[in-house]
A and B are shown apart, each in its own frame.
Chain A
Amino acid sequence: MHIAEGFLPAPHAIGWTVAAAPFVVHGARAVVREVREHPESTLLLGAAGAFTFVLSAIKLPSVTGSSSHPTGTGAGAVLFRPPVMALLGTVVLLFQALLLAHGGLTTLGANAFAFAVVGPWAGYGAYRLARALGAGLLPGVFVALALADLATYVTTSLQLALAFPDASSGFAGAVVKFLGVFALTQVPLALAEGLLGVLLFRVLTTSARPELERLGLLAPEPAEERG
């Protein structure tokens, strides 16, 4: 869930926009450079953005019987790296605000910080750490997607706690409240997104192996071993 339009007071809305801006500008520079060197990347990056949007439209069955939607940024961070996701994630948020009324324009900065900056970096960091510790692609993908999802909602909770400190226990009390409502409920959904990631990449390793090799996620295999 993104923070709805008008929910954050003006100073917070401006502050988070300023905080997210350097990451999004950095991502935009990376995209501009990529497109200048390879004009054909425009279409591939557009496809990646559309995929992130569409991934968040896939319904996942959850333990409680309700259904939830993946954030989709963890998969993007593993496939396309966090700087590009900072920009693509922000574009996706803008479209979600304008096409689905999820999130908003004044809260775009705060949502971008959680969804397009913290989520992808946390997920990518977890992925790199897992791979460095000797884990395979699929365990790496699981921790990346689960952590990207969870980190996004923990950040959202912290943003809300900063904006609305508790009347008697202040910021600390508000953190407990918002984490309880927005992040704790998200734990099973984060695990579900991790699981979806494993299933997604398992299919990709068999049906889109050349693409994964080109993106540097899998070491090239000798041709005769490919099934």
Chain B
Amino acid sequence: MSAGLAVDDAAWASAWRTRAPLDKLLLCGGLVVCALVLPAWPGGVLVALTAVVLALGPARVPARTFGRAVRWPLAFVATGALTAVVSVDGGGLGWAPDAAARAGDLVGHSVAGGAAVLLLATTTPVSDLLPALRRLRVPAAVVEVASVTYRLLFVLLDSLRTIREAQANRMGYSSVRRSYRSSGALAAAVLTRSFDRARRMQEGLAGRGMETGLRVLPEALPSSSRFLAASAAGLGALLAVGLLA
């Protein structure tokens, strides 16, 4: 779970934090599309390398954070790819004819796409991305609910950790039976706390005259034409190499 916060921490601390969210969205979106449509070799590998080099280089994301964040998706990709290339017929198990090539293809696409999404995730806090959703014509109410969700997450994760520590100190997880009872009480406590907090925030906002939803002043993060031009040139080169090679 600390990995989740690690990605968020990295996003806030990243050297690219002050770049315009839409600039980064275009670059990472372009990389994600390249990862999806280009063959895994050499296109996918180049996309993955580009994303990792950009994250660890100019965006100055800690390598440890980046490495830890890819462990879970890699576990899924390994299990999924292995299952996909094992062949079953008549009760016997065997390798599909082109197993190594298919597995390599799957892993290549997933690693490239995953690295591209992680480049976005480790350089752009979610609260910067949500206003960008408004530009994609997502209704304001939905974006507001999502931004309250994001802001409450950390409060609830904090409660979760504190309550679990208190339970553990009282031997709440000393047996399987107690673990279940403690987990149930933990979930209930977090749910009632989240509702209580929402109700109190609502009362506080109502007292300040909230009538038409939550208004926040978005931070001005100007778009850079050099960044956009470099992104376009880089993506064009990736596409050319990936398609022609």
Interface of A with B (CB < 8 Å)? 1-7, 10, 13, 28, 31-32, 35-36, 39-40, 42-51, 53-55, 57-61, 75, 87-88, 91-92, 94-95, 97-102, 104-106, 160, 164, 166-169, 173-174, 176-178, 181-182, 192, 195-196, 198-204, 207-208, 211
Contacts and interface: CB of A to CB of B under 8 A. Distances in A.
Nearest to B36: A10
16 contacts: A7-B113, A43-B199, A43-B205, A49-B146, A49-B152, A51-B190, A53-B149, A58-B183, A58-B186, A75-B187, A91-B142, A101-B69, A102-B73, A174-B84, A181-B83, A200-B187
B110 interface: yes
B214 interface: yes
Interface stretch (B16-24, B53-61, B114-122): B114-122
Contacts of A10: 36-37
A167 B32 CA distance: 28
Interface in B125-158: 126, 129, 138-139, 141-142, 144-153, 155-157
A176 B120 contact: no
A91 B130 CA distance: 11
A200 B121 contact: no
Q: Is the interface of B mostly helix, strand, loop or mixed?
A: helix
A101 B110 CA distance: 12
B195 A44 contact: yes
Contacts of A169: 87-89
Contacts, number: 258
Contacts of B113: 4-7, 104, 106
A209 B218 CA distance: 39
B111 A6 contact: yes
Interface residues of B, number: 86
Contacts of B153: 50, 53-54, 95, 99
A42 B148 contact: yes
Given A7-B76, A42-B144, A199-B180, 4 more contacts: A46-B146, A55-B187, A100-B72, A101-B70
Given A91-B149, A177-B86, A106 B36 contact: yes
A36 B120 contact: no
B114 A200 contact: no
Contacts of B114: 4-6, 101, 104
A60 B87 contact: no
A170 B32 CA distance: 29
Contact of A7 (B80, B89, B147): B80
A55 B106 CA distance: 31
Contacts of B80: 3-4, 7, 160
Question: Which among A42, A43, A95 has the greatest number of chain B C-beta atoms within 10 A?
Answer: A43
Contacts of A177: 83, 86, 88
B78 to A, nearest CB: 10
A39 B211 CA distance: 7
B114 to A, nearest CB: 5
Given A4-B73, A7-B110, A99 B152 contact: no
B199 to A, nearest CB: 8
Given A40-B206, A54-B190, A176 B88 contact: yes
B149 A166 contact: no
A5 B32 contact: yes
